[in-house]
Amino acid sequence: MTDLLETIAELTHLRNRHELERAFAAVVFRLAEASELILWRVGRRSGEAKLRAQVSLPPLGAEVLLLQPVAECRSCLESATPVRSRIGSLAARHVYPIHDGSRVAGLLELVRPEPFTRLEEHMIASLIKVYGNHAGLLDYGERDELTGLLNRRSFSTLFHQASIRRCGVIGVADIDFFKRINDEFGHPYGDEVLILMARLMEQTLEDSDGVFRFGGEEFVVLLGGANPDDAWRMLNDFRAIVHATTFPQVGRVTISIGLSSFSPNDTGASAFGRADEALYVAKQRGRNQVQCHEWLVKDGSLADAKKANSVVELF
């Protein structure tokens, strides 16, 4: 009992979501005497559940994304209750839901030689509840109050996690003429535009490593593993969706986006700065478009844009 209380104390002391996931997985793996463990994050694609592995023990060696969850995981998602089954005569699979309010935000999948006893089930369920509650508190501090997106505070941590593993792309998006929306329709309708824009980003860019509201009408997206060509197509699809959307009272709204690739051990500030320069060019060239920093550097357009003394309202 003392060991369990100390474990709970150690988990709730952590203030970083990634560290919490790894520590929680390691604790359960040890206490459950498991041979395999995967901590899944639950997302949606076209209304269908998808699972992305956040932590795996032993390590899987590569990112795993399941668009068609195994039967036990699918059953756990549908029932929102624990599921267990035998794997032949030598192992048992247990799948537990991790709740975030009224929805299932994650799954814990365990494989061990034998099914849990009732006491062991209670211990694991209690640890999952502690983990879910603490993760929810961390999310509250890392999310924008208005839109529910990740906030600027969480960007550095997630960018570091994405960049140390692989190359990728960062996109910086800014709503065109947002000040005019607030001035003409009032701030409540401006807030509605921000909320709807956030929902569109989450739905369109759900495979990203993070979507952030940086403040005001500015948003950031991390696309780990993407190259500039694929990222441009993805972000341009999002731009087109925004352009085709009718916002309540306001009507049509457009968005400009700048993107830049990042490499392992790049810094969030420098990557953001490059994407922001590309965003400036998108604004300068008429808005409602996506520009790539690397392409602009290659054709010399970025240098020309910096020299230009534009007097138009860019933001």
Q: Kindly give the pairing relationship between strand 218-224 and strand 210-215.
A: antiparallel
| pLDDT value for 169 | 96
Q: Residue ranges per domain, the chain?
A: 2-141, 150-307
Q: What is the pLDDT of residue 175?
A: 98
pLDDT, residue 46, reads 54
pLDDT of residue 4: 61
Given this model, what pLDDT does residue 216 score?
92
pTM: 0.70
Taking alpha carbons only, the member of 204, 203, 212, 313 closest to residue 268 is: 212
- Strand pairing report for 103-112 and 36-45: antiparallel
Q: Contact, 200 vs 242, CB < 8 A? A: yes
Q: Sign of the C-alpha dihedral, residues 42, 17, 62, 156? A: positive
Active-site residue set: 217
pLDDT at residue 305 in the model: 63
Residue owning tokens 């994407």 = 275
pLDDT, tens digit, 9 for 90 and up, residues 140-191: 667 888 998 988 888 987 888 778 767 899 999 999 999 999 999 999 999 9
3-class secondary-structure state, position 308: coil
pLDDT score, position 308:
52
Q: Do β-strands 251-252 and 255-262 pair in parallel, antiparallel, or remain unpaired?
A: unpaired
The residues pairing with 85 across neighbouring beta strands, listed in sequence order, are: 93
Coil, strand or helix at 58:
coil
Write down the residue that tokens 């520590």 correspond to: 23
Q: Does domain 150-307 have CATH number 3.40.50.10260?
A: no
CA 103 to chain centre: 17
Strand (E) positions, 216-289? 218-224, 246-247, 251-252, 255-262
User: Domain 2-141: which CATH class?
Assistant: alpha beta
pLDDT at residue 65, rounded to an integer: 67
Residue 86: helix, strand or coil by DSSP? strand
Read off the tokens for 222: 């991390």
Q: Which residues of the chain have pLDDT under 70?
A: 1-5, 7-8, 14-15, 44-47, 61-63, 65, 67, 139-141, 165, 304-315
Calculate the alpha carbon distances from 305 to 218, 232, 273, 281, 309 in Å: 21, 20, 15, 6, 8
Phi, psi of 11 (to 5 degrees): -65, -45
Report which DSSP code applies to 51: E
In this structure, the dihedral spanned by the alpha carbons of residues 261, 263, 268 and 270, taken in order and rounded to 10 degrees, is -70
